[in-house]
Each structure stands twice: as structure tokens, then as C-alpha cells.
């Protein structure tokens, strides 16, 4: 199988050659960026790259390297530009109080990356190569890991089909790449409940589609709905499954949770359309550790509306790596809004957020062995 071949052939090429930038930014330039990083605006001095070529015996990863950050030279016929054969991941590196740098469950990201690769007919990257690329890049760009409250270095691994070929088939030349971006608070400023817009005209996923894969195409498909959300004064868009009783699926890039008045927590079950969020899985574990009942099941728009009306609904939140955990204050729809109750003083939303961030930043004990040291 192709998978085993690529696993073997990377073994001898795990050494990342270092072609360090001859023009890294000065301490002053870096300090100016880190003073106000925002999200996704600035990038570090380096990038990690590994190339893949189809071979008669499956395929081979080679030429793992750290090089200067800069534009990519691509043939205009590269199939990623035409047919969107692309996947990505997102995780964060956190600077702990003692200066060391850690990341959260990187093997889970590596495994999800491979699940996405299978769906998009891209080659799998050995988990070890994925994790090593994170370590190598963070070692080269360690000074770019911010240390402020709620800040981190956002890591963006991705894979693109680089072969110049307009026929429709899986590309035979592919690149894995990793870039890094210092990040502040995703929604900016203090944590206040967001308003979200219910997409009815557009879906992001359908049965048998790519909803479960983390691929650029899903995001491209969500943008028209995201624009609609913004026109209606909302920050994010919520997708339903209109062919399954309007079951709640997820936001454009975050999973959702509902805290009920009896203490039960409900989140949509993974049904093939929904991204397997690592934050989602971690939140479920932390809730269960607290002895709370967590139901992964179908949760329809009707049930949401009823629960809000009869006082059964206590809190609603969204979760994902970029924004961590964000309370949802309002769902706006063309058929009337659903308001969440005012966030109580002692909300589960904020307490789980603090616990999770605490584990990630080293302030709270990591009882599940979720952290991996990068530098």
C-alpha cells in the first residue's frame, strides 16, 4: 500500500536540512509585531517543507527542510490551483512561564491530517514527520512565540498538489508545508458572547462529501454564508443539515455545545459532515472528568428553540483551536432569533475555557498527557 511505502521512505529523510533565512527580521521589527499580533496577519522568518513524488511503488517523501519564509513558485497548471486538492491543520504553540514552548495533542492533528489526506486523495504524512516539522520550525522561530495572556504561535500545516497537469486525477507531485503566525485573541479584546447567523440558503457539507475533512474547499464553500452573516451583524455562521430535520452541525470553523438546565451538556454527534474538533474532544473529556453527563447526539433547531423558550437552555458555546471557547449569545435566523440566557457569573463556558487554556499554557496540571514540548 502507498501508505506503508511513504512511511518507510520518510524514515531515512527525517533530517530537516537547514537553509536559514539570510534576512530574518530585526529584534525591533519582531517586537513591533508581537506587541499587537492580531490573528493571521504576520508570519515568522521560516517555513518547513517536505516534497512528495508518486513512484511506481507508491510514493516517496523527500527533501525535508527549513527554509526562509517567502512566496512559493508554482506552475500555473499546478492542480491545487484548478481542482483544489488541498488540506490543512491548525494548532498552537504556547510559551510557558519558564520560557519553554509546548503544543497540544499534535498527534491528534497529525492523524486528522491523514484522514483528510485520504479523503482528498493526497498522500499520508507519517505522524512522526508531522510532529518533527513542528519542532524544527519552532526551534528556528522560537523568538516569535508570544508570551502575553491568551497569545500563542499559531501553526498552520498544509498540503498542496503541485503537479502541473490539467487532467483530473490525484496529483503525482505534492508538497507539505508548515507556516507559523503569532496570534492574539481571535475575536479581539475581551470575551463577549458572539452573535451567529443561521445559514439556510447554503450548506457547507453533505452526506458523503468532505465535511469531515479539513480542506480549503469547505471554507471556500462557507464564505458566501459568512458574508451573509456579516451583512446581518453576526460574526459567524451556523450550518444545519436540512435533510435531517434541521439538525445542528457546526459553525464555519468551530464545533458547538449546549449546556442544559439539568447540567447535561449536548453536542452534535460526529456524523460524517462534522469536523472532528480536537478542542471538541478535549472539552468532552474535561466535562466527563467533572462528572457531567455529555450527550453526543442529534440536536435540532426545533429542540434549541424550545429549550431556549422553556428555560431548559442555559449556555451555548463554540470551540476550536483558533478562538478556544467562545460563548454564543444569539442565533439570528430569518424566522426569529434564539437568544441564550445571560451568561451566569459562574458559567461552565468560562470555567472550561480557563481550564483548557490553563492546561495549554502550563498553569493547570496536564492530567491527560496532552502536551508535547516543542522547544
Ligand X SMILES: *Cc1c(COP(=O)(O)O)cnc(C)c1O
Selected range binding ligand X among 140-148, 170-178, 250-258, 366-374, rule: CB under 6 A: 250-258
Cα–Cα–Cα angle for 164, 168, 172, nearest 5°?
A: 50
Least distance from ligand X to the Cβ atom of residue 294, Å:
16
Contacts 24+ apart (CB under 8 A), 12-17: 13/50, 13/61, 13/62, 13/63, 13/64, 14/64, 14/128, 14/129, 14/132, 15/64, 16/48, 16/64, 16/65, 16/66, 16/132, 16/133, 16/136, 17/63, 17/64, 17/65, 17/66
State which residue, 109 or 132, has the beta carbon closest to ligand X. Answer: 109
Binding residues for ligand X, rule CB under 6 A, total 13
Query: Does residue 236 touch ligand X according to CB under 6 A?
Result: no
Least distance from ligand X to the Cβ atom of residue 255, Å:
5
Smallest CA-to-CA distance from 63 within 26, 15, 110 is with 15
Letters for 254-273 (x = contact with ligand X by CB under 6 A, - = none) are xx------------------
Query: Does residue 241 touch ligand X according to CB under 6 A?
Result: no
Subset of 286-325 contacting ligand X (CB under 6 A): 320-321
Least distance from ligand X to the Cβ atom of residue 280, Å:
6
Give the containing element (helix H, strand E) for 265.
Answer: strand 265-268
State which residue, 240 or 278, has the beta carbon closest to ligand X. Answer: 278
Letters for 79-98 (x = contact with ligand X by CB under 6 A, - = none) are -----------x--------
Query: Does residue 278 touch ligand X according to CB under 6 A?
Result: yes
Subset of 185-214 contacting ligand X (CB under 6 A): 214
What pairs with residue 250 in β-bridges? Answer: 239
Query: Does residue 217 touch ligand X according to CB under 6 A?
Result: no
Query: Does residue 150 touch ligand X according to CB under 6 A?
Result: no
Distances (CA, A) of 157 to 47, 304, 311: 10, 35, 43
Query: Does residue 157 touch ligand X according to CB under 6 A?
Result: no
Distances (CA, A) of 124 to 42, 117, 120, 142: 29, 6, 10, 27
Query: Does residue 216 touch ligand X according to CB under 6 A?
Result: no
Which DSSP letter does residue 370 get? -
Least distance from ligand X to the Cβ atom of residue 116, Å:
10
Binds ligand X by CB under 6 A, chosen from 137, 277, 287, 328 = 277
Selected range binding ligand X among 136-144, 154-162, 186-194, 247-255, rule: CB under 6 A: 247-255
Count the helix, strand and coil residues of the chain and give each as a percent rounded to the nearest 5: 30, 30, 45
Cβ atoms < 10 Å from Cβ of 107: 14
E strand intervals along 184-263: 194-198, 236-241, 247-251, 255-260
Distances (CA, A) of 255 to 60, 273, 316: 35, 12, 11
Q: Is 334 helix (H, G, I), strand (E, B) or coil?
A: coil
Least distance from ligand X to the Cβ atom of residue 277, Å:
3
Selected range binding ligand X among 17-25, 151-159, 278-286, 325-333, rule: CB under 6 A: 278-286
Least distance from ligand X to the Cβ atom of residue 234, Å:
17
Query: Does residue 183 touch ligand X according to CB under 6 A?
Result: no
Query: Does residue 275 touch ligand X according to CB under 6 A?
Result: yes
Burial of 345 (0-12, 13-18, 19+ CB in 10 A): exposed
Contacts to ligand X by CB under 6 A: 90, 214, 250, 253-255, 275, 277-280, 320-321
Amino acid at each position: 500500500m502507498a501508505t506503508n511505502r511513504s512511511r518507510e521512505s520518510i524514515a531515512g529523510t527525517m533530517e530537516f536540512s537547514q537553509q536559514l533565512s539570510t534576512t530574518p527580521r530585526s529584534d525591533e521589527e519582531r517586537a513591533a509585531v508581537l506587541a499587537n499580533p492580531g490573528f493571521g496577519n504576520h508570519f515568522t522568518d521560516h517555513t518547513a517543507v517536505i516534497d512528495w513524488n508518486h513512484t511506481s511503488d507508491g510514493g516517496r517523501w523527500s527533501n525535508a527542510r527549513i527554509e526562509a519564509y517567502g512566496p512559493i513558485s508554482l506552475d500555473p497548471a499546478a492542480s491545487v490551483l484548478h481542482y483544489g486538492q488541498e488540506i490543512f491543520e491548525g494548532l498552537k504553540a504556547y510559551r510557558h512561564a519558564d520560557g519553554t514552548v509546548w503544543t497540544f495533542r499534535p498527534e491528534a492533528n497529525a492523524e486528522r491530517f491523514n484522514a483528510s489526506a485520504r479523503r482528498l486523495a493526497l498522500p499520508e504524512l507519517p505522524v512522526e514527520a508531522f510532529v518533527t516539522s513542528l519542532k524544527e520550525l519552532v526551534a528556528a522561530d522560537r523568538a516569535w512565540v508570544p508570551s502575553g495572556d491568551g497569545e500563542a504561535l499559531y501553526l498552520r500545516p498544509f498540503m498542496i498538489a503541485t503537479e502541473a497537469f490539467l487532467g483530473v486525477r490525484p496529483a503525482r507531485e505534492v508538497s507539505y508545508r508548515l507556516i507559523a503566525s503569532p496570534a492574539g485573541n481571535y475575536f479581539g479584546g475581551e470575551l463577549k458572547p458572539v452573535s451567529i447567523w443561521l445559514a439556510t440558503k447554503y450548506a457547507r457539507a453533505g452526506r458523503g462529501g468532505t465535511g469531515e475533512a479539513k480542506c480549503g474547499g469547505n471554507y471556500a464553500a462557507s464564505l458566501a454564508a459568512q458574508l451573509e452573516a456579516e451583512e446581518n451583524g453576526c460574526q459567524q455562521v451556523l450550518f444545519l443539515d436540512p435533510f435531517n430535520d434541521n439538525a445542528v452541525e457546526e459553525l464555519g470553523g468551530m464545533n458547538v455545545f449546549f449546556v442544559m438546565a439539568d447540567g447535561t451538556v449536548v453536542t452534535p454527534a460526529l456524523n460524517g459532515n462534522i469536523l472532528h474538533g480536537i478542542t471538541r474532544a478535549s472539552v468532552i473529556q474535561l466535562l466527563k472528568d467533572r462528572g457531567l453527563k455529555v450527550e453526543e447526539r442529534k440536536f435540532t433547531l426545533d429542540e434549541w428553540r424550545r429549550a431556549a423558550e422553556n428555560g431548559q437552555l442555559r449556555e451555548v458555546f463554540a470551540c476550536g483551536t483558533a478562538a478556544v471557547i467562545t460563548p454564543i449569545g444569539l442565533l439570528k435566523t430569518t424566522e426569529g432569533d434564539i437568544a441564550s440566557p445571560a451568561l451566569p457569573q459562574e458559567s461552565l463556558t468560562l470555567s472550561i475555557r480557563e481550564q483548557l487554556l490553563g492546561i495549554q499554557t502550563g498553569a493547570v496540571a496536564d492530567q491527560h498527557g496532552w502536551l508535547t514540548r516543542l522547544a
